[in-house]
Structure 1
Amino acid sequence: MIRLGLTGGIGAGKSTVAATFVDRGAYIIDADKIAREVVAPGSMGLTQLVEAFGDAIVAADGSLDRPALAAKAFADDASRATLNGITHPLIGARTQELLDAAPDDAIVVQDIPLLVENHTAPFFHLVVVVHADEDLRLHRLTTMRGVDEADARARIAAQATEEQRRAVADVWLDNSGSAEDLAAAAARLWDERLMPFEANVRSRTVAVPIPALVDADPNPAALPSRLSNRLWAIVGDKAVAVDAGSVRGSIPRLRVTVRDDDAASKLVDLLPAGGFPAVAEGVYGAADPGRPAEVTVVVTD
């Protein structure tokens, strides 16, 4: 199994990519859908929100009146913290339930509009960003979705910048063309990279890098940082340091320093599951054919 984080600015075309992945067999987890589900009529989430913010946040049909909630929940930092304290654990628990139910050979696609803003990129095997220039997104929102221009500009401005998205992106899908072009690009990504990546993780096989995929990295300068952050997410408190190290040819070389042999032994399973199968004792490679890496685990002196 691999987990893919799918994100992109409003109006970029993320839904087209998600639909293409689903058609090819993806196990989809939609963050927005979960956020609505946990506060649906009759849910514990809605009950807790009413207890915190009052009956006025409930519409006549028993559903959550989101504008009414927003007026109360975003009035100050304390109210916002109350809202997050109710919804975030419920969203997290439901997401984990869906992850636990995924098949062992699944390519799990987590559709998360605010993935960059929430700083969760390192927790995915791969992050895919769907991008379109701001003017094009504005045109789509106002003409295709009927969003007021001022509202559309405000929504775009409130989200992550192109630079911030590019810093965490492993794959950059440009949607300046047609929906058919974007769907075709997503299908190629699925066939050429995602399926081999998942099979390699499951079989604990180091990938043979595919030059075209490697060369398509949206931000090569940030690759060592992305890999370091990914390794930290995998190893957690079992490591005392993760160093980006050097580059051998086009292959970043990273080092994970652990406290003792017991911690090193735990990484024997954690690193392959996270996308870095073993090459030799204490040495790991990348299962992703588009993102080669060499990882060495050393015990601190």
Structure 2
Amino acid sequence: MLRVGLSGGIGSGKSTVAGRLAEHGAVLIDSDKLAREVVEPGTEGLAQIVEAFGQDVLDEHGALNRGALAAKVFTDEASRKILNGIVHPKVGARTAELIAAAAPDAVVVHDIPLLVENGVAPAYHLVVIVHADQDERVRRLTTSRGMSETDARNRIASQASDEQRRAVADVWLDNSGTPDLVLAAVDELWADRLVPYEANIRLRRFTPSGPKVVPYDGTWPVQAARVANRIALASGGLTVEHIGSTAVPGLAAKDVLDFQLGVPSLEVADELAERLGDAGFPRLTGTYEDTPKPAGADPELWRKRVHVGADPRRRVNLHVRVEGGPGWEWALRFRDWLRANPDEVADYQELKVGLAAEHASDGTALAYGDAKEPWMAAASERMGYSGGQTS
């Protein structure tokens, strides 16, 4: 099952995207709809609201008078917290029920307006943000919803900013233009990313790629922060470090984000394997778990587990190591050593570019990795690191 968080500001056209994904077969869970359902007449939610705010929040038919409730709640922070404490847990429980009822091969799209504000992005395999220029959003709100321009702009200003949304967005859909443009983008997203991503998670597989080296991408740190948050959540809050070439500013690299997850023991790593797989990071075995190490080092101290990202559009390598062990320390020291030594970065980049060209036909990049080992061994000596040696 693939869990997709869908969000966007008021007037961005999020419902257009949600509707198209549902047409493709996604299981759509609409948080706004659920928030209305849990306070319908006869529900526990409505009874608790009446108890908290009084009978005058009901209309003549015994249903919730949203205007009357808003007048009491949205000018008072304490009242708003009480309301949220009633509604949000019930929406969360109903959401969990709907997700549990979905088929194992479902693509579940959770339409959640406050995804950014509530800090829940790491709970999803992928976050899709629908965006539209502010003036276009104001136009839509004034023409289709009858808002005044002042009200529309105030509503927009009260929500998360574009910068905050970009920080959590794996996919940014610009819906400033005509509907056909964003619908075409949704069709492509469904076919090229969501469907294969779901299959990769379910089948515990990934999409390998060759050793293509690209110029440093200034968005790698932001992308890495998103992925690291997902890994941390899946692991129960263990330490996650962004390592490897994409963690070194200015260094050309394969477009693969490398991380290491610190565990107290490899037994714990094995216990986490299924949780990481469910979160979109299936485990690999065999030669992928071999680790370059200094000559004479105790191989047992350098053992690790390797997981990879199942997202076909965002390659990830996840090295699960004993935190504080020699492999863990080496990865951190190598990263920080490169960050502090620009001449070494230039030398390493030249090596990587040359080896990538030499092994361009290698679809797994394993031969490329093996060819780097002599340079890495020499780099360890220059770093002065020989942890875990037996003599």
TM-score, normalised via structure 2 length:
0.72
- For residues 38 and 263 of structure 1, the distance between their equivalents in structure 2, rounded to whole angstroms, comes to 40
**Partner SS state of residue 236, structure 2:** helix
Partner of 1:120: 120
- For residues 37 and 25 of structure 1, the distance between their equivalents in structure 2, rounded to whole angstroms, comes to 23
| Unpaired runs of at least 5, structure 1 | none
Measured after TM superposition, the shift of residue 75 of structure 1 is 4.3
Amino acid across the alignment from 2:91: I
Q: Are 1:170 and 2:170 an aligned pair?
A: yes
Deviation digits for residues 210-256 of structure 1, max 9, x if unmatched? 9xxx99x994441110111111121114x2x1111222521111010
Amino acid across the alignment from 1:36: R
Q: Is the 8 A contact 1:171 1:218 kept in 2?
A: no
Structure 1 stretches of 4+ moved >3 Å: 74-77, 217-221
- For residues 46 and 209 of structure 1, the distance between their equivalents in structure 2, rounded to whole angstroms, comes to 53
Which of these residues, 267, 272, 276, is aligned with residue 271 of structure 1? Answer: 276
Partner of 2:261: 256
Q: How does 1:1-301 map to 2 (within 5 A)?
A: 1-208=1-208, 219-237=219-237, 239=238, 241-246=239-244, 247=246, 248-280=253-285, 281=289, 282-301=305-324
Give me the CA root mean square deviation: 2.0
Measured after TM superposition, the shift of residue 94 of structure 1 is 0.7
Greater radius of gyration (CA):
2
- For residues 90 and 296 of structure 1, the distance between their equivalents in structure 2, rounded to whole angstroms, comes to 38
Q: Is the 8 A contact 1:197 1:207 kept in 2?
A: no
Deviation digits for residues 77-120 of structure 1, max 9, x if unmatched? 33222212211111111111111111100000000111111111
- For residues 112 and 218 of structure 1, the distance between their equivalents in structure 2, rounded to whole angstroms, comes to 29
Q: Given the superposition, is the C-alpha separation of residues 143 and 81 from structure 1 closer, same or farther in structure 2, using an over 3 Å criterion?
A: closer
Amino acid across the alignment from 2:224: P
Deviation digits for residues 131-178 of structure 1, max 9, x if unmatched? 111011111111233222111111101111111111110001111221
Q: Is the 8 A contact 1:5 1:115 kept in 2?
A: yes
Q: How many percent of aligned residue pairs carry the same amino acid?
A: 51
TM-score, normalised via structure 1 length:
0.93
Amino acid across the alignment from 1:242: V
- For residues 56 and 105 of structure 1, the distance between their equivalents in structure 2, rounded to whole angstroms, comes to 46
Q: Given the superposition, is the C-alpha separation of residues 164 and 218 from structure 1 closer, same or farther in structure 2, using an over 3 Å criterion?
A: farther
Amino acid across the alignment from 2:282: P
Larger RCO: 1 or 2 (CA < 8 Å, sep 6+): 1
- For residues 18 and 26 of structure 1, the distance between their equivalents in structure 2, rounded to whole angstroms, comes to 9
* Count of equivalent residues: 295
The more displaced of 82-91 and 21-30 is 82-91
Partner of 2:387: none
**Partner SS state of residue 115, structure 1:** coil
Amino acid across the alignment from 1:300: E
